[in-house]
Every structure is written in C-alpha cells, then in structure tokens.
C-alpha cells in the first residue's frame, strides 16, 4: 500500500491549522494571573493559576506536535518521508496513516 503524499501533506497541514486555532482559543488561559485580592479571592486565584499551568502545558504539547508536523513536511519535500530516522527502513504505511509525523518504524519505537 503506497501512501498518497499529497493527502498526507493535506492531513499534516490541516492538523497544524487545528493546533494554531487551539492556541488562539487558549491564549486568555495562558495569561498571567492577577494578584488583585479585592476582586479575586485566594481560592479563585489558585484555580486560575491551575488553569494557567494546564494551558501552558497544553501549549507546549501543541508546539511539540507542530514541530513534528513541520519536520514531517520537510521529510516529504526532501523525499525522506516514510523512512525510519534510526534504522532507515520503511515505516509501515498503517503507522504513517495513523500518525504521519511519526519518525521511527515500530521496531525502533519498541527499543525506545
């Protein structure tokens, strides 16, 4: 089963756009939490800080996924897509279909 690289590219670009949109939606949650005790009680501020910490962690995960997508797009452009970066063997099409940004074959992934 050969992969349709045009479709793979479209899938990667669509996912990248989703991540950018999610970043825009969560921008307010990542903003610094105000220390105004008069307008926000102590427990509310702690809740806000927890929301902020989770939003920052999610933002880091989205950035990491965007970097993996960008790397996959570069591999497509350089005719290196679909090959394991560790051993050089083909990555199973089903594995790439599930996650086009994956960089290793299943055997190398098992090794860690």
Whether residue 97 lies inside any domain: the answer is no
Whether residue 21 lies inside any domain: the answer is yes
Q: What pLDDT, in 10s, does the model give residues 80-110?
A: 999 999 999 999 999 999 999 999 999 999 9
pLDDT of residue 25: 83
Number of domains making up the chain: 1
Q: Going from the first residue of the chain to its last (112 residues), give the mean pLDDT of each consecutive group of 10, the final group possibly shorter.
A: 87 96 78 59 76 89 97 96 96 95 96 82
Find the domain containing 28 and state its range.
5-81
C-alpha–C-alpha distance, residues 109 and 112, integer Å: 5
Whether residue 65 lies inside any domain: the answer is yes
C-alpha–C-alpha distance, residues 97 and 7, integer Å: 10
Whether residue 109 lies inside any domain: the answer is no
C-alpha–C-alpha distance, residues 58 and 77, integer Å: 29
């Amino acid at each position: 089963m050969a992969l349709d690289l045009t479709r793979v590219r479209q899938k990667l670009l669509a996912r990248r756009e989703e991540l950018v949109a999610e970043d825009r939606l969560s921008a307010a949650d990542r903003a610094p939490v105000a220390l105004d005790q008069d307008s926000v009680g102590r427990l509310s501020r702690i809740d806000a800080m927890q929301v902020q910490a989770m939003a920052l962690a999610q933002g880091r995960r989205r950035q990491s996924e965007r970097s993996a997508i960008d790397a996959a797009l570069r591999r497509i452009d350089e005719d290196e897509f679909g090959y394991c970066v560790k051993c050089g063997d083909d990555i199973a099409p089903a594995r790439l279909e599930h996650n086009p940004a994956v960089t290793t074959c299943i055997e190398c992934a098992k090794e860690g």
